[in-house]
Structure 1
């Protein structure tokens, strides 16, 4: 059975797909009522599952007429994706940012779900059992090499 966070995420992604503008505006309290949860649960889902690393731009306006606007950031071309990878990865990358990048590439269908799973496994801190900053440097080199190979297909 899926948990409430998964259901909220699925609902928001479906709403984004159905949006002609590629963005949605929601009110935290309306969404909390819809899912019978507290507004902080909505905050949690948005802050952990709709991040820039995962390909979403979120803006929030608080107050009486406040809203949350979620917009999908698309990766338009292979060249833009390669440039994005070089900028995001750099000389070192932490696990959270690496996983976010892989998630974003999978969502945009630049890598398959299986490839994404393998990429995440290869750059996990359990596999790269080294001290920082060496771990993040090796993760960056591995991730860049694997993504360049995958995207060259």
Structure 2
């Protein structure tokens, strides 16, 4: 029997709802009560597991009638998806975030498995280990990949 932590359970619950609906709106406090956790844990799950790199956009409204809206990115508009991902690539990009982006590009069939693996090899920490600004180099490489993909699709 596999044990899952609360964050995994929250993520699975939200993804299950998103299977049937493109957009969901949740109330943080209600979710926290449902999962018997603090509201900040709901924020953590949303901020780390429902990112544009993973194919989601998140909007929120604070206050008494506040909500958190999670929406699947409409992949039929691949060019817009690539633009949104490119906007999130700052001056520096960690290997972990590069992996998440490449994984999503593969899942959305914007890259083949072979292409994804080649790009991951180029962006790997072990490849860029001799460079002081490896995260900046990785970000530059990722922007170039995203730009090139947007021209081809």
Question: TM-score if structure 2 supplies the norm length?
Answer: 0.69
SS at match of 2:132: coil
Name structure 1 gaps, 5 residues minimum. none
Over the residues paired in the alignment, what is the CA RMSD in angstroms? 3.7
1:62 corresponds to 2:62: yes
Deviations 1:89-112 (A, max 9, x none): 98x751254234223224434457
What is the CA–CA distance in structure 2 between the aligned matches of 1:69 and 1:85, rounded to whole Å?
17
Name structure 2 gaps, 5 residues minimum. none
Q: CA contact under 8 A between 2:103 and 2:116: conserved in structure 1?
A: yes
SS at match of 2:69: strand
Q: CA contact under 8 A between 1:5 and 1:41: conserved in structure 2?
A: yes
Q: Structure 2 vs 1, CA of residues 17 and 115 (structure 1 numbering), >3 Å: closer, same or farther?
A: farther
What is the CA–CA distance in structure 1 between the aligned matches of 2:81 and 2:60, rounded to whole Å?
30
Q: Structure 2 vs 1, CA of residues 107 and 40 (structure 1 numbering), >3 Å: closer, same or farther?
A: farther
Count matched residues: 146
What is the CA–CA distance in structure 1 between the aligned matches of 2:5 and 2:121, rounded to whole Å?
24
How far is the alpha carbon of 1:125 from its aligned partner?
2.5
What is the CA–CA distance in structure 1 between the aligned matches of 2:132 and 2:39, rounded to whole Å?
38
Q: Which residue of 2 aligns with 1:25?
A: 25
How far is the alpha carbon of 1:44 from its aligned partner?
0.3
Question: TM-score if structure 1 supplies the norm length?
Answer: 0.69
Q: Which residue of 2 aligns with 1:131?
A: 132
